[in-house]
């Protein structure tokens, strides 16, 4: 969701900024732009389209200078076009600004500026902010950092901004509230970005700006951070765990396929140091250190969005199964606005790959304000959710570049399953025999995923049959019902085929009316558990209406094989671990259908990797 890059130092800024924008393309965007300060000139170039379009537009123009800011925009206020693209000039064209977020009171601010003679070129809330900064700077005769500070005190909304000014040629001013910003510290140079991907190539020393903080990246006076209330802060330098190789495709045609195939390794990393087979134990520090909060919890509330919500729903199944603690799963966007009942005896878990999802972060802050114990599950070290929660657990899967989440989803499910087992053992609500059995089976999951991935060519061939489809239905029961939801979401996200997931028995309550020869039905039907026979009955109901069945089944299954039109097999495992395995074929099915249809798999239309604004 929009991307910010900034640089000030000795290098040619254009090269750093363009490369940084390309690193941020995975976030989703519809226009791009760059501002460069050189020889008392402030040059802004921007265009609708991709970063490659921006490069073409800037060709032959003055792109010199060792200081600049750049942006990829995902349209909120104003349609995606060149005028609304960032950066935005101030009226004098002496200040340029880029912005992620939404200024909620921009209309009122704009009215005031119009009364002072300002004119506007775009439809954006961002242009209002840069004009306000210029007005404050001139009216109060202050430097750029002070002008930004005073202006932001008038702003209602969310923002991550970077500002440069012809009158302050040695400094970039940045600020954030509700949208992430990271500062990279090099040798007599500074980098600025929405996340670490544009920075890791140059330095592993970073500072994560906190809420309502303003940073001056000053080549002469050094780095200074203060709050918008003018309180000086001492920034803490962190070390990046990311490597540049994690940001490359490594020979794969798309990041999504690479990330699907990384899952044996990423789940091994996720369990490393936690699942200990030699000691027959699972240990999660964030749970053990606060076990009284969990063991005495009246209930657990899981709040998340999209794919993370599906993982949370699986988490509900496993946590209730092994701990007998009631679990509610909430869409963060609804939870934060419906005045939820939250008690001090509640544990609220928030799940987000990026750790920056706006609604989930707001849900976390709401729960915290009500006195609940807050536990975060995220992938990005130093993210806002990681800093907001009382405790948490990183998934440790490395950067996920593909917009459609794959390895982050299976890692979230893995973490939730480990949490359920740890709590069940502490509460004595799971037998030692079952605990040890699942523990050992978890350690085998990466190897079993490898065997599923060997069917990639088979799934690719199968996918060719179904590119004609305009609609899909996905069916699952028990632990695999959320997998049906996730499989349908993957197909929608990247192939633009309408798909819906249902509990298999709910098909009779409406969706069965859609079944026909033209309607593919994906059924998740591994053997074992109390619902297998019920799923078989549901498949028979689909076949009676001439529906086309694609079944995900256990390797030794015979019953469903005889009924299904197409079969994808998975190794047998414990019932609670099947969602990790059954999700893999559905990721591959969605991927190959989208590729055959010619869709942009890594950057599907209208979608952003991290939704950092409402």
pLDDT digits (tens, 9 = 90+) for 99-132: 988 899 999 999 999 999 999 988 888 999 999 9
Contact 214, 155 (CB under 8 A): no
**Percentage with pLDDT > 90 across the chain:** 74
88: containing domain:
3-245
Of 503 and 514, more confident: 503
The DSSP 8-state label assigned to residue 245 in this structure reads G
Give yes or no: residues 224 and 310 share one domain: no
Q: At what angle do helices 481-495 and 306-323 cross, to 10 degrees?
A: 170
Closest alpha carbon to 194 in 94, 269, 86: 86
Would you state the pLDDT for residue 380? 87
pLDDT-derived band at 28, boundaries 50, 70, 90: confident
Q: Average pLDDT in the 221-250 region? A: 86
3-state SS, 587-605, equals HHHHHHHHHHCCCCCCCCC
Would you state the pLDDT for residue 254? 94
Q: How far apart are CA 160 and CA 207, in angstroms?
A: 14
Beta bridge partners of 100: 160
- Give the lowest-confidence range in 126-140, 190-204, 452-466, 597-611: 597-611
Burial string for 38-71 (b: 16+ CB within 10 Å, else e) reads beeebbbbbbbbbbeebbebbeeeebebbbbbbb
CATH of the domain at 563: 3.40.50.10490
Contact 553, 526 (CB under 8 A): yes
pLDDT-derived band at 171, boundaries 50, 70, 90: very high
Of 347 and 612, more confident: 347
Q: Give Cα separations from 540 to 134, 331, 543, 576, 596 (angstroms).
A: 69, 33, 5, 25, 30
Give yes or no: residues 195 and 271 share one domain: no
Give yes or no: residues 228 and 159 share one domain: yes
Q: Which residues are catalytic?
A: 2, 609
Contact 345, 371 (CB under 8 A): no
In DSSP notation, 493-538 reads HHH--EEEEEEGGGGGGTGGGG-STT-EEEEEE-S-SSSHHHHHHH
Task: Decide if 613 is inside a domain.
Answer: no
pLDDT-derived band at 30, boundaries 50, 70, 90: confident
pLDDT-derived band at 242, boundaries 50, 70, 90: confident
Task: Decide if 609 is inside a domain.
Answer: no
- Structure tokens belonging to residue 461: 């061939």
Task: Decide if 88 is inside a domain.
Answer: yes
Q: Average pLDDT in the 329-355 region? A: 93
Task: Decide if 605 is inside a domain.
Answer: no
Determine the distance from the C-alpha atom of residue 428 to the mean position of all C-alpha atoms in its chain, rounded to a whole number: 35
Q: How far apart are CA 386 and CA 395, in angstroms?
A: 12
Contact 589, 561 (CB under 8 A): no
Would you state the pLDDT for residue 552? 96
Give yes or no: residues 231 and 333 share one domain: no
Final residue in a domain of this structure, among 437, 452, 467: 452
pLDDT-derived band at 70, boundaries 50, 70, 90: very high
- Structure tokens belonging to residue 139: 């009216």
Model confidence pLDDT, tens digit, residues 574-590 = 999 999 999 999 999 99
Residue 219 CB coordination number (10 Å): 18
Task: Decide if 174 is inside a domain.
Answer: yes
Task: Decide if 366 is inside a domain.
Answer: yes
Model confidence pLDDT, tens digit, residues 230-239 = 999 998 898 8
Give yes or no: residues 238 and 289 share one domain: no
Give yes or no: residues 284 and 155 share one domain: no
Would you state the pLDDT for residue 246? 77
In DSSP notation, 297-308 reads -SEEEEEE-HHH
End-to-end C-alpha distance for the chain, whole angstroms: 11
Would you state the pLDDT for residue 78? 67
Would you state the pLDDT for residue 610? 63
How many residues does the structure list for the chain? 614
The DSSP 8-state label assigned to residue 235 in this structure reads P
Task: Decide if 606 is inside a domain.
Answer: no
pLDDT-derived band at 509, boundaries 50, 70, 90: confident
Give yes or no: residues 237 and 301 share one domain: no
pLDDT-derived band at 463, boundaries 50, 70, 90: very high
Closest alpha carbon to 550 in 540, 561, 541, 559: 561
Final residue in a domain of this structure, among 452, 480, 500: 452
Final residue in a domain of this structure, among 212, 245, 278: 245
Within 8 A by CB and 6+ apart from 320, the residues are 326, 327
- Structure tokens belonging to residue 196: 């670490």
- In terms of average pLDDT, the best of 368-382, 478-492, 505-519 is 478-492
Closest alpha carbon to 496 in 594, 350, 357: 594
CATH of the domain at 214: 3.60.20.10
Would you state the pLDDT for residue 528? 81
Sheet holding 205-208, edge to edge: 41-48, 31-38, 67-73, 3-8, 190-193, 182-185, 205-208, 238-239
Would you state the pLDDT for residue 1? 61
Give yes or no: residues 371 and 467 share one domain: no
Q: Average pLDDT in the 458-467 region? A: 93
Q: Average pLDDT in the 224-233 region? A: 94
What are the two backbone dihedrals, phi and then psi, of residue 420, each rounded to the nearest 5 degrees? -60, -40
Give yes or no: residues 300 and 421 share one domain: yes
Beta bridge partners of 359: none
Q: How far apart are CA 480 and CA 94, in angstroms?
A: 57
Give yes or no: residues 528 and 398 share one domain: no
Give yes or no: residues 422 and 520 share one domain: no
Task: Decide if 491 is inside a domain.
Answer: yes
Residue 437 CB coordination number (10 Å): 12
Tell me the Cα Rg of the chain. 26
Would you state the pLDDT for residue 6? 97
Number of domains in the chain: 3
Closest alpha carbon to 558 in 578, 529, 536, 580: 536
Q: Give Cα separations from 12 to 19, 38, 62, 68, 121 (angstroms).
A: 12, 10, 12, 9, 29
For the chain, give the mean pLDDT: 92
Contact 519, 471 (CB under 8 A): yes
Give yes or no: residues 152 and 219 share one domain: yes
């Amino acid at each position: 969701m929009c991307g910010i890059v900034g640089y000030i130092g000795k290098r040619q800024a254009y090269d750093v900024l363009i490369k940084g924008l390309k690193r941020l393309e995975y976030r989703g965007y519809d226009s791009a732009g760059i501002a460069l300060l050189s020889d008392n000139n402030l040059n802004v170039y921007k265009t609708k389209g991709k970063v490659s379009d921006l490069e073409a537009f800037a060709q032959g123009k003055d792109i010199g200078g060792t200081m600049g800011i750049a942006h990829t925009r995902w349209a909120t206020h104003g349609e995606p076009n060149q005028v609304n693209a960032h950066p935005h000039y101030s009226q004098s064209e002496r200040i340029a600004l880029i912005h992620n977020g939404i200024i909620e009171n921009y209309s009122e601010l704009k009215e005031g500026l119009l009364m002072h003679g300002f004119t506007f070129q775009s439809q954006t809330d961002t242009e209002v902010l840069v004009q306000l900064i210029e007005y404050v700077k001139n009216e109060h005769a202050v430097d750029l950092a002070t002008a930004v500070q005073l202006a932001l005190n008038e702003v209602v909304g969310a923002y991550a901004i970077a500002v440069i000014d012809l009158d302050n040629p040695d400094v970039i001013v940045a600020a954030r509230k509700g949208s992430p910003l990271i500062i990279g510290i090099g040798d007599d140079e500074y980098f600025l970005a929405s996340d670490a991907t544009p920075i890791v190539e140059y330095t592993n020393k970073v500072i994560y700006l906190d809420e309502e903080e303003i940073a001056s990246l000053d080549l002469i006076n050094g780095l200074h951070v203060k709050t918008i209330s003018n309180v000086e802060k001492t920034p803490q330098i962190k070390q990046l765990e990311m490597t540049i190789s994690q940001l490359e495709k490594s020979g794969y045609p798309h990041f999504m396929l690479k990330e699907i195939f990384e899952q044996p390794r990423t789940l091994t990393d996720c369990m490393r140091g936690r699942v200990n087979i030699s000691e027959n134990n699972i240990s999660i520090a964030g749970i053990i250190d606060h076990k009284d909060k969990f063991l005495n919890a009246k209930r657990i509330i899981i709040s998340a969005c999209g794919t993370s919500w599906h993982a949370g729903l699986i988490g509900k199944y496993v946590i209730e199964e092994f701990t007998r603690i009631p679990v509610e799963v909430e869409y963060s966007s609804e939870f934060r606005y419906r005045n939820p009942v939250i008690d001090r005896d509640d544990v609220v878990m928030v799940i987000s790959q990026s750790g920056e999802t706006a609604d989930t972060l707001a849900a976390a802050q709401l729960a915290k304000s009500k006195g609940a114990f807050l536990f975060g599950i995220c992938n990005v070290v130093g993210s806002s959710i990681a800093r907001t929660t009382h405790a948490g657990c990183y998934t440790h899967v490395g950067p996920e570049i593909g917009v459609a989440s794959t390895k982050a989803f299976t890692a979230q499910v893995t973490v939730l399953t480990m949490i359920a087992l740890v709590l069940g053992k502490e509460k004595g609500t799971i037998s030692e025999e079952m605990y040890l059995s699942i523990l050992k089976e978890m350690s085998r999951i990466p190897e079993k995923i490898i065997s599923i991935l060997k069917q990639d060519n088979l799934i690719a061939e199968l996918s060719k049959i179904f590119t004609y489809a305009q609609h899909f239905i996905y069916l699952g029961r028990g632990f695999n019902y959320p997998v049906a939801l996730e499989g349908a979401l993957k197909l929608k996200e990247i192939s633009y085929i309408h798909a819906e997931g249902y509990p298999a028995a709910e098909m009779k309550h409406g969706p069965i009316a859609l079944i026909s020869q033209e309607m593919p039905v994906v059924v998740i039907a591994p053997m074992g558990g109390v619902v297998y026979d019920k799923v078989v009955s549901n498949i028979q109901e689909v076949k009676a209406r001439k529906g086309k069945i694609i079944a995900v089944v256990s390797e030794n299954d015979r019953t469903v094989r005889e009924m299904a039109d197409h079969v994808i097999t998975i190794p047998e495992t414990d019932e609670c671990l099947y969602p990790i395995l059954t999700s893999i074929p559905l990721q591959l099915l969605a991927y190959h259908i989208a590729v055959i249809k010619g869709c942009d798999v890594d950057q599907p239309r209208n979608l952003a990797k991290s939704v950092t604004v409402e």
